[in-house]
Structure 1
Amino acid sequence: MNDLFSSFQASSKEEWIAILKKELKGESIDTLNKLNKVEEITFPSYFHQEDQKVHFSDPGLAPYTRGIQAKNNDWTIATAFRISEPKETNTEIIAALMAGTDHLILEATNADPIDFHLLLNEVGLSFIHTTFRAKSIEQVNQFLVFVKEAPALIEYADNDELLKTNLKAYLDKNPNLKLYHVDASLVQQAGGTTWQELSIALAEGHEILVKQMDSGIDCDRAAAAIHFTFGIGSKYFFELAKIRAFRTCWSQIVSAYSPKHTCSLAATITARSGFLNISLKDPYTNLLRQTTEAMSAVLGGIQHLNIQPYDWYSANSNTPFTRRMATNISLLLKEESYLQIVLDPAGGSYALDSLTETIAERAWSSFQWIERNGTISNPEVRKALTAEIEEKAAMRISEIADKTEKRIGINIFPNPEQIAANWIELPSCWNNMKPLILEQTL
């Protein structure tokens, strides 16, 4: 078996292309090059070893392009809950944990104090992850006192306010705490591209990193306190490559500050499904979309997966059911497909390696422009980036309108069953941009 590969004769690129041309039966080989006009990236659907420009390190090794884990590809199954009445929400939480959830996302609906003892009664926080979407600094303090040293992630809209608040003691006591959050999924929900999403995440993450170090925190601890959330779109290979590209670029940023530990270069990433491609009129098609989106994210090597109920922003929601269906997507990928076992299943694909490199280069170029022009805090920079994202959103709307891009249940094959379901208002996206939901554009 040691001589397995030498038993087969390797084909040159010329020989391989000759075979492809023969199979195309007269069609141009250029038809295999797929241009994504919104992304402005051409993705060749064939590659040969001779085309490989870069060789990425193994999984678990810097710059972590192929993942930060060295033993498996496991991820947490994150389920979101809006905190309304703590006792009722606790009942929902317990049911979700019994159904396979191992990561709670708790979303405050207002800035009032929360009874975490009642909300999380009989929940073993040390055995799971918990993300808290807070509406006030007081709620953040409440949660951090309650959670103690259990794995915890904070999502708060104003990182500057967190930085100005003396929360350093919590980071000292809890090595499992991710205090600062960069929500790049808001760029995708507004209609942005993969590389726009990454460049803004890099810029915001870099700013938080520098501000922490300016306050006296060393690079290793500062990097460890940051976590990132990315959206998951419908372009399977682009989404997979996006996650890999971000880890490469983030590693490059952190390494510039000479951390003591290599693991500080590794980014903690949550992948979150959005609503750009969701249809309330054809609900069950959403489960198929979310399954492929989830698969692209986990093959990209994320740490946390949050498939949101497809009717999370519906006036006629049935979230106990849709929340369970969302959980089942992760369970299917784990318990039936065993994707948590195989390290970097996409490894060895020359085409995906090339796409990863292309997205990383586009994102890095955009990030450098942001830094040269006054960082992500500069209002003029934010204005320019907003205009660029709005341009991409308009292109997406045009493609749906003329059916260049086809979405079952949205612009082709409408659901014959008439379903009365209406969207409620979604939160604003990055820089207060309007959320893009393609179904609403028709």
Structure 2
Amino acid sequence: MSNLLTEDFEPSSAAAWKQKIQFELNGEDYKTLLTSTNEGITIKPFYHSDNFEKLEIPVPIEDFKICQYIIITAEEEANKIVIESIKQGAKSLKFIVKKSFNIDVVFANILDKKIDFQFEFSFFSPVFIAELAEKLKNETVYFNIDIIGNLAKSGNWFKSLNEDFKNLETIFKPNTSTCYLSVRADIYQNSGANVVQQVAYAIAHANEYLTKFGGNVADKIQFNFAIGSNYFFEIAKIRAFRYLFNLILQEYNTNVQPKVFAQPSLRNKTILGAHINKLRATTECMSAILGGVNTVSSHPFKLKENNLNPLILLKESGAQNIATDSYYIETITKQIAEKALEIFKDIEKSGGLLNQLKEGTIQRKIKENAQKEQHQFNTGNLVLLGANKHPNEYGTLKDLHINPFLKGKSYKTLIVPISPKRLAEKLEQKRLENEA
């Protein structure tokens, strides 16, 4: 950062700055300006080169890509949306797939255009995935199969532990550039895990696959993160993850640049705040970009209106990874990495992520932090504009065609599922009751 300084200003030490601050505080203790976060990270009023330590973090060489979500309901309609998205400049497309579809119809006239094809499946069919792989064998493809993520989110395997892992083995083709696996770290964020927990669980999650398949599978994994509204912490979160994943891979005698996909968090979105949701999604996407993700997209959640069109970012932001050498971001990154590594080591000592999911430890830790955040929201210490501060007085929830608070049918699970939950839900439920 020395290039930002000029010879017009004499350099000052950290001690001199601290002394000046205490003088301006009329003798009050400097510690009154320190802030402690839910992660146990202390934020200082200033950061200085005197106590600055930089981590060597591998960052992507290529520019980030903007991804457009496409929910496949009717094949011909999906194909039209794909063609239009490509015309608008999309370089990555993510298909939300709830059942098998006519592959030839969906991908008609859209191949060989240097587009990344991403998938998010609600089912796991090795036969269907093999057909897709054959159709897209000359394309860049991310199948995002995450059997552990499905267990964490739903409480069950697709079939069983042994059968799911066996099915994974049948679809692997090591000599292709296709990414078959995914680590759905967004599950943890959307359910209330703090940034340190998210990084630790993402690494432990990936380590289950590395332990099973070996270090060679590292370049077949795409990591999916949800990005919250704590702007600088979210930048640091992605950087800390990249640092730790590189550290873990050394144990497997391999070195891979992790592929990271990011989208805005669901947790802080509101039903009546469509415009504020767009603003939050914009800053969250910027955090992801500055943190060094490979692909970024707005999420497909439709609370009332469509959210931010991610292509706007491509046209207007011109964003680059400028977080390197920022004293504040680098310091937070180091603290997140250190604390996440401690959690990761504890998880591994207790038998790994799968074992802690079975015992309910991961679920309990996330719930504890989620309850802490919920209390902060309820008391106004955690502010969501349009919800618990300056609420939208003009919208009405009773105009919604579907009650967003209806719960699905209960079913038997092997473990307690990790369920996403928005902070504003109870507040919105109360408002709906008052409108009735």
What is the TM-score normalised by the length of structure 1?
A: 0.83
Residue-by-residue CA offset, 1:83-111 (whole Å, 9 max, x unaligned): 1111011112222222232111111123x
Report the counterpart of residue 317 of structure 2 in structure 1. Answer: 337
Structure 2, unpaired ranges of 5+? 149-160, 428-436
CA distance in 1, matches of 2:333, 2:86: 35
Q: Label 1:313 to 1:257 Cα distance change in 2 as closer, same or farther (>3 A).
A: same
Q: CA deviation at 1:431?
A: 5.8
Report the counterpart of residue 56 of structure 1 in structure 2. Answer: 55
Q: Does 1:231 align with 2:229?
A: no
Report the counterpart of residue 133 of structure 1 in structure 2. Answer: 120
Report the counterpart of residue 383 of structure 1 in structure 2. Answer: 360
The 3-state SS of whatever aligns with 2:424 is helix
Structure 1, unpaired ranges of 5+? 58-62, 214-218
CA distance in 1, matches of 2:316, 2:313: 10
Q: CA contact under 8 A between 2:144 and 2:179: conserved in structure 1?
A: no
CA distance in 1, matches of 2:173, 2:113: 16
CA distance in 1, matches of 2:192, 2:16: 41
Q: CA contact under 8 A between 1:239 and 1:297: conserved in structure 2?
A: yes
Q: CA deviation at 1:117?
A: 1.3
The counterpart of 1:250, out of the listed 221, 245, 250, is 245
What is the TM-score normalised by the length of structure 2?
A: 0.84
Q: Which amino acid aligns with 1:306?
A: S
Residue-by-residue CA offset, 1:335-381 (whole Å, 9 max, x unaligned): 333114xxx31222222111111111111111101100111121566
Q: CA contact under 8 A between 1:125 and 1:151: conserved in structure 2?
A: no
Q: Label 1:336 to 1:406 Cα distance change in 2 as closer, same or farther (>3 A).
A: same
Q: Does 1:438 align with 2:430?
A: no
Q: CA deviation at 1:249?
A: 0.7
Q: Aligned residues, how many?
A: 401
Q: Which moved more, 1:352-361 or 1:431-440?
A: 431-440
Q: Does 1:397 align with 2:374?
A: yes
The counterpart of 1:122, out of the listed 83, 99, 109, is 109
Residue-by-residue CA offset, 1:154-197 (whole Å, 9 max, x unaligned): 1224266564237677634422x111110010001110111111
The counterpart of 1:276, out of the listed 262, 267, 274, is 267
Q: Which amino acid aligns with 2:120?
A: R
Q: CA contact under 8 A between 1:86 and 1:119: conserved in structure 2?
A: yes
Q: CA contact under 8 A between 1:47 and 1:351: conserved in structure 2?
A: yes
Q: CA contact under 8 A between 1:184 and 1:230: conserved in structure 2?
A: yes
The 3-state SS of whatever aligns with 2:80 is helix
Q: Which amino acid aligns with 2:274?
A: P
The 3-state SS of whatever aligns with 1:432 is coil
CA distance in 1, matches of 2:172, 2:146: 19
Q: Which amino acid aligns with 2:213?
A: Q
Report the counterpart of residue 216 of structure 1 in structure 2. Answer: none
Matches within 5 A, 1:77-96: 77-96=66-85
Report the counterpart of residue 423 of structure 1 in structure 2. Answer: 404
CA distance in 2, matches of 1:173, 1:361: 35
CA distance in 1, matches of 2:4, 2:203: 43
Q: CA contact under 8 A between 1:374 and 1:381: conserved in structure 2?
A: no
The counterpart of 1:68, out of the listed 60, 64, 68, is 60
CA distance in 2, matches of 1:136, 1:372: 31
The 3-state SS of whatever aligns with 2:296 is strand
Report the counterpart of residue 137 of structure 2 in structure 1. Answer: 148
